[in-house]
Amino acid sequence: MNVDALKSLLETFGPSGREEKVRDKIVELIKNLVDGYRVDKLGNLIAWKNGTGPNKKRILFDAHMDQIGVVVTYKDENDFLRIEPVGGIAPQVIYGMRLNFDGTIGVVGVERETSEVYKENLKNLDFDKMFVDIVTSNGPNIEVGSFGVYDAKPIFAGKKVMSPALDDRIGCAMLVELLNVVDNPYNDLYLAFSVQEEHSLAGASVEAFDIKPDIAVAVDVTASADTPKADKRTSMIMGKGPAIKVMDSLSVSNVKVVELLKRTAEDNNLRYQMEVLHMGGTDAFGIERTAEGVLTGALSIPTRYIHTPSEVCNLEDANEGVKLMKILIEEEITF
Ligand SMILES: [Zn+2]
């Protein structure tokens, strides 16, 4: 995994619907490694590399460019802002946090007229009771409709990385890395860097309609149940390899794709684990229901503290996932 590429993607502003800067960065990283690329009307970046096999299939790997964020809904006479989450942000996670509105930085405060109100508000934190206080003055002017994200820097420590937006810049970095390592593709490789996964899955639905792949795999993060008193119904853990998704709350992966991923990992001695997630969902849900239907699965990187400013994952899991994708592109696939 190219750590510099991942770091620069993690540091780039890109909430759902405002992915342009992330897309520009990815174009720079991949433009010399592909046979072609285009940007569709919704903003998805679609890139491809042609295969040479006589029985080649069209394989799509997808990762979403957008990250969770907030949008400004109201600005009072003293310029304090009210906000609404864009994607899954819990109010408990952002009290006291810095938010970055594409260069302008603010902090999240809470209403506290009396000690009793303050205590009560902390106990039942809600966006109704919180506001943003813009502190810096050198960024863009903030108004109703401005988007913000967590303001926190990525930290790399050995195999671990901690950062906001690992969901799903780790997936984007894996797709970029795949282009760097794939040689002589047997199958047609399509990569989609999608928009708006955290909000509506709109990007995934239209990209798959456009590409019409034989097989699609969404590459994203999933829960990691290896912290004190973690979710006992979840078995994915960091460091055990990428997880082959069987099901989440939005979709059941196609059984042929699950078996293909499993068999490929086993035949090549790659580490993997199985994933059943009793919540959440990925671009796989948008892809599978497109056109006449798409054989779709997902490959997930177990990640702690998802949707907080400090998501943590293991780079080895991502590297192992890239190896698996490389084999799928370089070998003939038979069902
Ligand atoms: Zn995601």
301: left (phi over 0), alpha (psi -120 to 50) or beta: beta
C-alpha 116 to ligand 1 mean position (Å): 38
Domain over 69-150 is classified CATH 3.40.50.2300: no
Q: What is the pLDDT of residues 19-70, one digit of tens each?
A: 999 999 999 999 999 999 999 999 999 999 999 999 999 999 999 999 999 9
C-alpha 198 to ligand 1 mean position (Å): 7
Q: What pLDDT is attached to residue 283?
A: 96
DSSP string, 39-58: E-TT--EEEEE----TT--E
Q: What is the pLDDT of residues 181-227, one digit of tens each?
A: 998 999 999 999 999 999 999 999 999 999 999 999 999 999 999 99
Residue 1 has pLDDT above 90, yes or no: no
Average pLDDT, the chain: 97
Within 10 angstroms of residue 202's Cβ, the number of other Cβ atoms is 18
Answer whether 93's CB lies under 8 Å from 308's CB: yes
Q: What is the pLDDT of residues 112-169, one digit of tens each?
A: 999 999 999 999 999 999 999 999 988 888 999 999 999 999 999 999 999 999 999 9
Q: What is the pLDDT of residues 268-312, one digit of tens each?
A: 999 999 999 999 999 999 999 999 999 999 999 999 999 999 999
Q: What pLDDT is attached to residue 132?
A: 98
C-alpha 314 to ligand 1 mean position (Å): 16
C-alpha 34 to ligand 1 mean position (Å): 24
Could you tell me how many helices (H) and strands (E) the chain has, helices first? Answer: 9, 17
C-alpha 113 to ligand 1 mean position (Å): 38
Q: What pLDDT is attached to residue 89?
A: 93
Q: What pLDDT is attached to residue 265?
A: 98
Q: What pLDDT is attached to residue 139?
A: 80
**Catalytic residue (one of 19, 197, 288, 320):** 197
C-alpha 111 to ligand 1 mean position (Å): 32
3-67+164-330 fold:
Aminopeptidase (3.40.630)
Q: What pLDDT is attached to residue 140?
A: 83
C-alpha 247 to ligand 1 mean position (Å): 15
Residue 172 has pLDDT above 80, yes or no: yes
Q: What pLDDT is attached to residue 194?
A: 98
Q: What pLDDT is attached to residue 112?
A: 97
C-alpha 70 to ligand 1 mean position (Å): 16
C-alpha 285 to ligand 1 mean position (Å): 12
Q: What pLDDT is attached to residue 137?
A: 80
Q: What pLDDT is attached to residue 101?
A: 96
C-alpha 137 to ligand 1 mean position (Å): 32
Answer whether 316's CB lies under 8 Å from 239's CB: yes
Q: What pLDDT is attached to residue 86?
A: 96
Answer whether 101's CB lies under 8 Å from 146's CB: yes
Residue 335 has pLDDT above 80, yes or no: no
C-alpha 134 to ligand 1 mean position (Å): 28
- Whether 3-67+164-330 and 69-150 share one fold: the answer is no
Answer whether 113's CB lies under 8 Å from 333's CB: no
120 is known as an active-site residue? no
Task: Tell me the domain boundaries of the chain.
Answer: 3-67+164-330, 69-150
Q: What's the rounded mean pLDDT across residues 230-236?
A: 96
| Stretch (H or E) spanning 335 | none
| Nearest of 205, 248, 253, 151 to residue 41 by alpha carbon | 205
C-alpha 221 to ligand 1 mean position (Å): 6
